[in-house]
Structure 1
Amino acid sequence: MPSTALARARSRPAGTADPRLVDGVLAAAMGAVVAVVVAADLEGTGRAGPLAYLFAAGFGALLLARRRAPRLVLALTVLGIFGYYVFQLPPIGIALPAVAALFSAAEQDRTRAAVLAGAVLVSVAAFFRVDEGLPVAYLLSYDLLTDVALVAAAIALGVGVRSRRELRAHEEHLRALTAAAERREAERRLQAERVSIARDLHDTVGHSLAVIAVHSNVAAEAIGRDDGAAARAVEQIRAAASATLQELRGTVKLLRSPAAAPADRSTVGLAGLPDLVRRAEEAGVQVSAELDVEPGRLDAAVEAAAYRVVQESLTNVLRHAGAEHATVALRLRDGTLHVTVADDGRGAAPSPADDAGGRGLAGMAERVGLLGGTLTAGPGEDGGFVVRATLPARLVP
């Protein structure tokens, strides 16, 4: 039993009183008020005896069950009032003993029962008043008006209390739904960020492996004939592998622990383009680069997408094109970023294996499309292969 009481106390909102205490105070107050009116015996009947006080205590005691059985409490109260007057005890009013029961019924969403009980009380009281010879004018202007006002006030107060309670519950429910929606949105964003990071990692590793493959071929051909060239190729392989492993470790750490400090991804943007060009040139492809974009004019996501388009395009040049020269151009015109990567190679598209599963050209097109841009790729007018992408400089919120 003590554990049940403790659980109920913990389930109550902070700042709210124990319902049992509230019911006890209300029951005691109602019994005391009716007892005071009985003792006053305003009409001087001289019948303020034990039975009248027993009725007063009964009217109060009924309120202890007002939450569990509001309609039963209301019915017993009405019958008790009628019984009280059957014994011709000192007048206590017809509505006064019932106000708490009417309030409780309305508060517990039994408004129809409260209205019906109030109407019965007022009607019966009016009938007997008229039958006793009370003037109708007095009845309508004072006695009946007072009873109606008490009944209406009790019911209105109960409805108001219930409405405020339901409003608070509704607000709590909305807050809970909002918090749940915010958590789901945060999880969705985290998942999207993880997918984006994994895709960036794929692009970085793919580009680095292409560079390593080119330099390994150079080293294999130079061994025994040009040891200096072989040593330089091996050094390029070591540098590319080291840089890729460093980014791999940082990215895996970020994927495993989202709350950890993010890896340094500052090179995934326009600032990283010179490094892409340098790696391609070290792999044997001459690259002409033109960057006509003022710093700070592009959103970070747009810069990252442009970087990945150039990276993937140069990777395809190294893998498939057999090109000697490539051009990279980024121009910002009228709020639109134009990215062009062209080579003088064989002019064939990358192999189908590179486009499967969202990689290669398909992956670039998907990345650009998500930002509201377009990407086209195909043979150039003078041979070779050309990749063109357009991206909005600023993303619409």
Structure 2
Amino acid sequence: MIEERYGQARRRLPPWAADALIGAGVTLIVSVVISAGQGGRQGPDAIAHLWAVGLGALMLVRRRHPVAVLAVTALGLFAYYAAGHPAVGLAVPVAAALFSAAEFGRLVHAVVTATVVIAVSLSFRLAEGDDFSFVVGYELAGHILLMAAAIALGDSLRSRRNAQAGARRIAELTAQRYRQEAGARLHAERLAIARDLHDSIGHTTSVISLHADVARESLGRDESQTRAALDLIKSTTTRTMGELRRTVALLRTPDEDARSVVSLSSVDTLRENAAAAGIEIDIEMRVTAELPATVDASAFRIVQEAVTNIVKHSRGTRARITALDDGAVLRLSVVDDGPGRVRDSGPDHGIGSGDGHGDGDGDGDSHGVGPGHGIAGMRERAETLGGTLTAGRESAGFAVRAVLPLERTP
């Protein structure tokens, strides 16, 4: 509370005004002591009071030249006494200069100056015949204590000011770290949304494009096939719109405990679209417990993207999806049984065309007609969870394999 009030007072009072007040105080106190007219060969004349004003004026430059103010004050005190003016003691005239030097980090200079002033004063007074017991036993302790108090107060104020500056710096660094973390979280959320849109919309548009071609080719020749293709397009778009609505609802009302809008348990929905493209999919699910939401959603998106690759690029007729939970990791694999082929099924949505399942970024053995993000997106999903993903040609066909760590809470 005291530090807060002191900080508020400093903010209200400019530095030059504070120095002017200190200088006025020094002038007033020294002038009052001079007016007492104790000792000295001369009375409290104008020169003595002018000296007091000079001591006060030095406080106006104490921040920029603390050592010079200290030296001028000590030498001025010697000159004052040498001229025979009334006694003003030792500590009172130099207390403000000692305080200022200690406040601005000149602690050694302050201690040395105080020692020199005391030593010179004792030497001259004892040489002039002043009583030893009075000078040393009575006055010396008071001078030392007052000088030490001025130095200690200045050093304490400096230490407190440094502590406050350090606290402000820590607060600034903490705020900066929070801003960076918030930016990183926002970036991660944007990447997650981008991956979800890529996987969901890319899969849907691939299926729609494929079956739109089927409907176009069978139009006027096979009405039942045309109707089946259009029905599949409708069901696919309806399902995707529902998924998008759930995604938007979660974005509008985020809940950390909410389950993802997609789940590995929905992998059967991919079988229908693949079957319509002439690819039969076998599914083996050996997941013994509920998966963490992030792992569950990422696993489904990886499988979905891999199936989309197969539908668009594989020459095979069968594929196998395997999900195995061994308690520590979830192992996924999507393997087809044929070499790659090129299908003219509309715009590319992350998978390049060519002799494999490559996405144009160097994965697989694609010749890549354009850059894509399919396999790269799957790999990003796995690596975000601390897992791994590989994609490439094997003896039986093209395989996507992922290992996702599980972090279940007991």
TM-score range, shorter chain: 0.7 to 0.9
Superposed CA offset, 1:194-241 (max 9, x none) = 233223322233322331233134323432332122022123224445
Larger CA deviation: 158-167 vs 355-364: 355-364
Q: CA contact under 8 A between 1:371 and 1:395: conserved in structure 2?
A: no
Q: CA contact under 8 A between 2:285 and 2:323: conserved in structure 1?
A: yes
Superposed CA offset, 1:243-289 (max 9, x none) = 667878999x99xxxx9767x99433335434333433444444343
348, 356, 366: which one aligns with 1:350: 356
1:96 correspondence with 2:92: yes
361, 364, 389: which one aligns with 1:375: 389
1:69-218 correspondence to structure 2 within 5 Å = 69-136=65-132, 138-218=134-214
Q: Which residue of 1 aligns with 2:3?
A: none
Q: Which residue of 2 aligns with 1:329?
A: 322
284, 288, 291: which one aligns with 1:297: 291
Q: CA contact under 8 A between 1:95 and 1:121: conserved in structure 2?
A: no
The aligned amino acid for 2:331 is H
Provide the secondary structure at the position in 2 that maps to 1:113.
Answer: helix
Deviation at 1:180, TM superposition (A): 2.0
- CA RMSD after TM alignment: 3.7
Provide the secondary structure at the position in 1 that maps to 2:407.
Answer: coil
Q: Which residue of 2 aligns with 1:392?
A: 405
Q: CA contact under 8 A between 2:340 and 2:356: conserved in structure 1?
A: no
Q: CA contact under 8 A between 1:347 and 1:380: conserved in structure 2?
A: no
Question: Per the alignment, do residues 296 and 139 of structure 1 end up closer, same or farther by CA in structure 2, a change over 3 Å counting?
Answer: farther
Identity of aligned residues (%): 41
Aligned mates of 2:40, 2:389 — CA distance in 1: 101
Q: Which residue of 1 aligns with 2:351?
A: none
The aligned amino acid for 2:24 is A
Q: CA contact under 8 A between 2:359 and 2:375: conserved in structure 1?
A: no
Larger CA deviation: 95-104 vs 242-251: 242-251
Question: Per the alignment, do residues 199 and 103 of structure 1 end up closer, same or farther by CA in structure 2, a change over 3 Å counting?
Answer: same
1:194-343 correspondence to structure 2 within 5 Å = 194-241=190-237, 266-270=260-264, 272-293=266-287, 296-298=290-292, 300-343=293-336
Aligned mates of 2:278, 2:296 — CA distance in 1: 26
Q: CA contact under 8 A between 2:322 and 2:334: conserved in structure 1?
A: yes
> How many residues end up aligned between the 2 structures?
378
Q: Which residue of 1 aligns with 2:368?
A: none
Deviation at 1:55, TM superposition (A): 3.1
Aligned mates of 2:110, 2:77 — CA distance in 1: 15
Question: Per the alignment, do residues 14 and 304 of structure 1 end up closer, same or farther by CA in structure 2, a change over 3 Å counting?
Answer: farther
Aligned mates of 2:376, 2:58 — CA distance in 1: 77
Deviation at 1:332, TM superposition (A): 1.8
Superposed CA offset, 1:89-131 (max 9, x none) = 2211122111001111221233343334323311210110220
The answer for unaligned runs of 5 or more in structure 1 is 1-11
Question: Per the alignment, do residues 215 and 24 of structure 1 end up closer, same or farther by CA in structure 2, a change over 3 Å counting?
Answer: same
Provide the secondary structure at the position in 1 that maps to 2:356.
Answer: coil
1:55 correspondence with 2:68: no
The aligned amino acid for 2:119 is S
The aligned amino acid for 1:314 is V
Q: CA contact under 8 A between 1:376 and 1:388: conserved in structure 2?
A: yes
Provide the secondary structure at the position in 2 that maps to 1:267.
Answer: coil
Question: Per the alignment, do residues 32 and 236 of structure 1 end up closer, same or farther by CA in structure 2, a change over 3 Å counting?
Answer: same
Q: CA contact under 8 A between 1:103 and 1:158: conserved in structure 2?
A: yes
Aligned mates of 1:233, 1:199 — CA distance in 2: 27
Question: Per the alignment, do residues 37 and 362 of structure 1 end up closer, same or farther by CA in structure 2, a change over 3 Å counting?
Answer: closer
Aligned mates of 1:51, 1:366 — CA distance in 2: 84
Aligned mates of 2:335, 2:76 — CA distance in 1: 98
